[in-house]
Amino acid sequence: MSALSTPRPDGGKSPESFWLQAFREVLESTDVDDDTDFFDAGGHSLLIPKLLLCYESLSGWRPPIRLVFEFSSPRELEAESVVLQGRR
**How many helices (H) and strands (E) would you count in the chain?**
4, 2
C-alpha–C-alpha distance, residues 59 and 61, integer Å: 5
pLDDT at 10: 41
Q: What pLDDT band is residue 86 in, cutting at 50, 70 and 90?
A: confident
Q: What pLDDT band is residue 1 in, cutting at 50, 70 and 90?
A: very low
Q: Residue 5 pairs with which residues in a beta bridge?
A: 17
Q: Which residues contact 46 (CB under 8 A, 6 or more apart)?
A: none
pLDDT tens for 8-56 read 444 445 568 999 999 999 999 999 999 999 999 999 999 999 999 999 9
C-alpha–C-alpha distance, residues 74 and 11, integer Å: 23
DSSP 8-state code for residue 15: E
Question: Is it the case that residue 75 has pLDDT exceeding 70?
Answer: yes
Q: Distance between the two ends of the chain, CA-based, in angstroms?
A: 14
Whether the model clears a pTM of 0.85, i.e. scores above it, the answer is no
C-alpha–C-alpha distance, residues 11 and 15, integer Å: 13
